[in-house]
């Protein structure tokens, strides 16, 4: 059994997609990041970065005590290695999967996150920041579109690289993009959207976070934005 510390956000969806695709048994532990549950000591013990997702594998390969993993990319690699699924098997194809996985982790995810922040959440609408990140996401969509022009998936066969990118492409409208400008990316998006495991992964959202749709209240904003080392230390102390 795998414990998944989860919230209904793109980085959370990556892992439910994998777990559903691989047919692994898992137990969801909701971490409501709008309520500050990411600062609870039990969670920080497995996820020192106070961000979801994280997992604890109670039956690691080779036995022994449970293994905890934080960072969605590390979790996907861990689970792919554990199951032998959704990652290239030989040196060349494994490297290809990892290349696109790390491309997501270092590029698409952070840029789309900032794009969302400055266009939807920043109290001050700063055109330079909005343009900067919307353009960068546009460029990255173009990179994927080109990559997908002559192949079905980003990193070889359907893999953890696709699972990592999909939740960030799905909200393309919110990202200020027009999917019609990226026909190969659109075909890839529709193909993945139709996968039964992906449908099941997204069914957690209404169950766990009914009315999900972003950060709504002043309290949520105060918890999520403007975190510093000091504010985290205070929030953590308050939870002990």
Ligand X SMILES: N[C@@H](CCC(=O)N[C@@H](CS)C(=O)NCC(=O)O)C(=O)O
Residues that bind ligand X (CB under 6 A): 9-11, 33, 38, 50-53, 71-73, 224
Q: Which is nearer to ligand X, 196 or 238 (CB)?
A: 238
Question: Between helices 183-193 and 127-147, what is the axis angle to 10°?
Answer: 80
Give min distance, CB of 212 to ligand X, in A.
12
210 alpha-carbon distance from chain centroid: 19
Q: Which is nearer to ligand X, 98 or 182 (CB)?
A: 98
Q: Which is nearer to ligand X, 38 or 115 (CB)?
A: 38
Could you tell me the two tokens for 217? Answer: 């209240």
Give min distance, CB of 112 to ligand X, in A.
10
Tell whether the torsion through CA atoms of 37, 41, 42 and 48 is positive or negative. positive
Give min distance, CB of 224 to ligand X, in A.
5
Q: Which is nearer to ligand X, 50 or 97 (CB)?
A: 50
Give min distance, CB of 225 to ligand X, in A.
8
Give min distance, CB of 72 to ligand X, in A.
3
Q: Is residue 31 within 8 Å of residue 91, measured between CB atoms?
A: no
Report d(CA 149, CA 145) in Å as an integer. Answer: 6
Report d(CA 46, CA 173) in Å as an integer. Answer: 34
To 10 degrees, the CA torsion angle through 25, 10, 207, 22?
-20
Q: Which is nearer to ligand X, 55 or 198 (CB)?
A: 55
């Amino acid at each position: 059994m795998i414990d998944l510390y989860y919230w209904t956000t793109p980085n959370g969806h990556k892992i439910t997609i994998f777990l559903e695709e691989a047919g692994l048994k898992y137990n969801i532990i909701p971490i409501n990041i709008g309520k500050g549950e990411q600062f609870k000591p039990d969670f920080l013990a497995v996820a020192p970065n106070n961000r979801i997702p994280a997992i604890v594998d109670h039956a690691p390969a080779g036995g022994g005590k449970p293994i905890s993993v934080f960072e969605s990319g590390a979790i996907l690699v861990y689970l792919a290695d554990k199951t032998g699924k959704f990652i290239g098997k030989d040196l060349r194809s494994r490297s290809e999967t990892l290349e696109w996985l790390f491309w997501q982790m270092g590029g698409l995810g952070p840029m789309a996150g900032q794009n969302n922040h400055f266009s939807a959440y920043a109290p001050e609408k700063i055109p330079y920041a909005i343009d900067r990140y919307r353009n960068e996401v546009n460029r990255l969509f173009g990179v994927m579109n080109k990559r997908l022009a002559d192949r079905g998936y980003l990193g070889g066969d359907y893999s953890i690289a696709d699972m990592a990118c999909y939740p960030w492409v799905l909200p393309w409208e919110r990202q200020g993009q027009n999917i019609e400008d990226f026909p190969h990316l659109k075909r890839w998006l529709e193909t993945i959207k139709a996968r039964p495991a992906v449908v099941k992964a997204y069914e957690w959202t209404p169950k766990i976070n009914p009315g999900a749709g972003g950060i709504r209240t002043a309290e949520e904003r105060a918890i999520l934005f403007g975190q510093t080392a000091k504010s985290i230390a205070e929030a953590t102390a308050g939870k002990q």
